[in-house]
Every structure is written in C-alpha cells, then in structure tokens.
Amino acid sequence: MSSTKPPTQRDVARYAGVSTATVSYILSGRRDRANPVTEQTRERVLSAVRTLGYQRNHAARSLRRQRTEFVAVVYRPPSSPWGERLVDQLHEAARGQGYSVIVLPAGPDDRTGNVLRVLREQYVDGALMLPNHSVPDSELAALAQHGLALVVYDDETPPAGFDVVRQDQTAACHAAVSHLVDSGRRRIAYLGHGQPGEPPEDDLRFAAYRTVLADRGLERDDSLVRAAADSRSAAYQAATAMLSRPDRPDAIFSGSDRGALAAIWAAIRLGLRVPDDVAVVGVGNTDEGAVVSPALTSVGTPRFDFTAVVDRLFERIHQPGTGTVLHQPWELIVRQST
C-alpha cells in the first residue's frame, strides 16, 4: 500500500512559484483583493493543482476558519422568476466572497424539518428566507441567537436578531383588486396558492381579495375561489371551468403571474376577449407577463435588483447585528389585460 501523502497547498505554491496565501486566494474563488492576481498567475496555480492532483479539504478548512463558506436560500416551491433572479445575484456575490450557495425547498410538509436541521446544525453560515418559507418566527429567533446570519422576507415578522425585508404585499394586492372594482368589475374570481381541490391558503393575497370585496359591498362567490396559482395546468383548468359558466366572472385575480397567464390562455381558447369580457391580474411582475399579448397587469417588485438584500446577508455573516427592516415594496403595474 502506498504511503504517499496527498499534496498540500504548500506543495502547490512551491510548484507554481507563488505564496501559499496566493494559492488559498485563487482556490477560494474570490476576486476581491485590492491588487488582484494576474490571469497568468491564476492559470499557473490551477495548472499546478491539476498536475499534483491537489484536492481541498473543506472540512478541515471549515474547522480552521470556523466558517462553512456556504449560504442557503430557503424557498417555497414552485420557484418564481423573481426568486430565481435573487438566487442568481446571490451566486454572483457568493463567488466574490469565496462562498457557495445551496437551495433548500420548504413547505407545509416534512421538508421544513429537513431545512431546520440544516440551519440548526450550521451547515451554512447564513440564509435568505424567501416569502412563505414555513419556518416559525420562534425558530428564526433561535437560529439568530445561535449565530446564524438571516435575512427574512416577511411583511409581518418582527426583526429579532435577524433582518427582515418588507414587500408590502397587502397594499399592492389591495390596489390590484381595487383597480378591478374601479374599472367596473363585479364578479371577481380568485386563484390562490395551495393544493388543487382544497381551499386556497389564507395568505396576504387572499386576505386582500376578501377585504376589498367586503369593503366595496361585493358578495364573494366561493365557487369562484380556487387553489390553482401554483400550476399552469391547474390554473388553466380552473379558469376554463369558471369562464365556461353562464354566470362567469368578469375578472380574475391570481396569486401568481403563472396562474394569470394560464387564465388568459383559457379565456382566449373560449373565444373571450381580454380585457373586454374578462380582466386578469397576476402577482410577480414577471418578464413573461410583460411581453405576452395582451400584456399582463401585475403586482410585484418593479425592478429585479436584490443587491441590497444579498449584500446585507454577507454583512451579517461578517458583522452580526440586532436586526433591521429593509423595504422592497411591491407596486401595481397596469397593462393591457385590465
């Protein structure tokens, strides 16, 4: 049996003719030095790594640095275009910090338990918690108390050792449903999140829908309320069924652009005109919604720029704080579908 020891960073440095600090910097993936290394030096080090067969020992490095150099994104499936853009920007920032990103799906099932195990056992140094992440406030506070950097998207959770991002969903969704009523719509259907065949989840979007109808004196027809916003096919089927009725709705408010676009396709397939016969509003302000015909009226963040949120996560990893509130308010973007 061979007793040859595996190569070390010192061996790589000697072979490439550079310092061990330069080897460590290059292998970390970081590019944040005041005097960055040249591409020739970078390639010389990487060539030495390949020639010597050097492999980084992440466990030993984490133990030595007291950092895992991983951050997590916790999200509720299905993913959304704005969430995917946030993850892209997190990857870009993480690369510059020498970090990697893991994406963890959570929900009302046992997946949230798996997410909590990863966070409690500190497999990561920090986490971005996207809306509807299903982790209780008490758990978030406990995680922060044990040193985990957290940035949490939630309109109601108070900052408790972690930072919170407010989107003001209620005000934006209230404006969306009010816009439909103001344009003369009286039978407004709702496509919400949740399992098809069950009542939609009682989230901020559904609450805004109910509140506006009640405030405007409009009767809510529960047969026009479906859990279908998470799936294009479910939304298409639900919209087709509702729009085929003699007493069809004259507007549809969907908890996602995904569901709203499917509702538009259903209406067009039935020979209905959007917005003349039925107006449609979604949630998300996705690129797809902006380029279809008719372009989709939607509520969401007007710009997919999450630099401040991503930067705050890494700030908290390096410099813990007591928790503050950041604002990325949603807006109503009126287009041709209403």
Instruction: Give the H/E segment covering residue 90.
Output: helix 81-97
- The answer on pLDDT for 137 being more than 50 is yes
Which candidate, 233, 224, 227, 228, places its Cα nearest to that of 252? 224
CATH (one of 3.90.79.10, 3.30.450.260, 3.40.190.10, 1.10.260.40) for 9-56: 1.10.260.40
Domain 68-167+303-329 has CATH 3.40.50.2300: yes
- One fold for both 9-56 and 68-167+303-329? no
Q: In what order do the strands lie in the sheet with 70-75?
A: 100-105, 70-75, 126-129, 149-153, 163-166, 325-327
Taking the C-alpha atoms of residue 298 and residue 271, their distance in angstroms, rounded to an integer, is 23
Q: What is the pLDDT of residues 58-87, one digit of tens each?
A: 544 544 455 788 999 999 888 888 899 999
**Least confident residue range of 14-23, 232-241, 256-265, 324-333:** 14-23
**Least confident residue range of 111-115, 179-183, 265-269:** 111-115
Mean pLDDT of 249-274: 97
Q: What is the pLDDT of residues 199-252, one digit of tens each?
A: 888 899 999 999 999 999 999 999 999 999 999 999 999 999 999 999 999 999
Which candidate, 61, 35, 45, places its Cα nearest to that of 12? 45
Q: Are 132 and 103 in contact (CB under 8 A)?
A: no
Q: What separation, in Å, do the N-terminal and C-terminal C-alpha atoms of the chain show?
A: 75
- The answer on pLDDT for 337 being more than 90 is yes
Q: What is the pLDDT of residues 149-208, one digit of tens each?
A: 999 999 999 999 999 999 999 999 999 999 999 999 999 999 999 888 888 888 999 999
Q: Which residue has the higher pLDDT, 303 or 64?
A: 303
Give the predicted TM-score (pTM) of the model. Answer: 0.79
pLDDT at position 97 is: 87
Mean pLDDT of 281-309: 95
Residue 281 has what DSSP assignment? E
pLDDT at position 1 is: 39
CATH topology of domain 169-300: Rossmann fold (3.40.50)
pLDDT at position 34 is: 62
Q: Which residue has the higher pLDDT, 97 or 166?
A: 166
CA contacts within 13 A on the Cβ side of 167: 26
Percent of the chain with pLDDT over 70: 92
Please name the residue that has the structure tokens 């922060």. 144
**Measured torsion, CA atoms of residues 38, 43, 46, 51, in degrees rounded to the nearest 10:** -140
**Tokens in use for 35?**
């005097």
Provide the strand spans (E) within the chain.
70-75, 100-105, 126-129, 149-153, 163-166, 188-192, 225-227, 251-254, 279-283, 297-300, 325-327, 331-333
> Can you give the C-alpha Rg of the chain in angstroms?
25
- The answer on pLDDT for 326 being more than 80 is yes
Please name the residue that has the structure tokens 């949230």. 112
The residue ranges of every structural domain in the chain are: 9-56, 68-167+303-329, 169-300
Taking the C-alpha atoms of residue 205 and residue 292, their distance in angstroms, rounded to an integer, is 23
Q: Which residue has the higher pLDDT, 131 or 53?
A: 131
Mean pLDDT of 15-24: 82
pLDDT at position 184 is: 97
Q: Which residue has the higher pLDDT, 288 or 36?
A: 288
